[in-house]
Structure 1
Amino acid sequence: MADNVMTNQLKKKLVLARLIEKGVTHSQQGTPIHECDYEELKYELVLSAYREIDIEKEANKWF
């Protein structure tokens, strides 16, 4: 049980660090990312990855 809690804390710290590197400070709902749980942080990380895609680039266009 203690290992599982530590693993979850490490995962949360990793995702939080990546969001901070990308300049994300608040979730889409306006909550500071330091107050978000792991699931919310994962969601925000996915959103930040989508924001980095350059849709003007030919390889990233759908049609």
Structure 2
Amino acid sequence: MVLHVDRVNLHQEMKRNFVLDQLRQKGVLVSQSGTELEMMSYQELKYELVLLAFREIDADKDDNKWF
């Protein structure tokens, strides 16, 4: 049982570190609310990564237009 919990925690930490690395590579050091990334949960980091992806979309490019 303890081994299973450790594996789950390790998996969650690996996912968190992956998202954290993605944000750092893009130059993000703090969230939009001013919180340091290291203090944020996996869910919060994912949210920041999604916001970053939306900011990177070039809405003027024909391929990215909705209408």
* Counterpart for residue 23 of structure 1: 27
- In structure 1, C-alpha distance between the alignment counterparts of 2:55 and 2:26, rounded to whole Å: 10
Question: What does the per-residue CA deviation read over 1:12-48, in whole Å, with 9 as the maximum and x for residues that have no partner?
Answer: 1000000000111111211011111100000001011
- Count how many residue pairs are aligned between Structure 1 and Structure 2: 63
Gapped regions of structure 1 (runs ≥ 5): none
Structure 1 stretches of 4+ with a deviation exceeding 3 A read none
Greater gyration radius: 2
- In structure 2, C-alpha distance between the alignment counterparts of 1:18 and 1:62, rounded to whole Å: 27
2:61 is aligned, of 52, 57, 60, to 57
* Counterpart for residue 43 of structure 1: 47
Identity within the alignment, %? 48
Task: Give SS of 1:24's match.
Answer: coil
CA-based RMSD = 0.7
Gapped regions of structure 2 (runs ≥ 5): none
Q: TM-score if structure 2 supplies the norm length? A: 0.89
Amino acid in the other structure paired with 1:21: Q
Amino acid in the other structure paired with 2:18: L
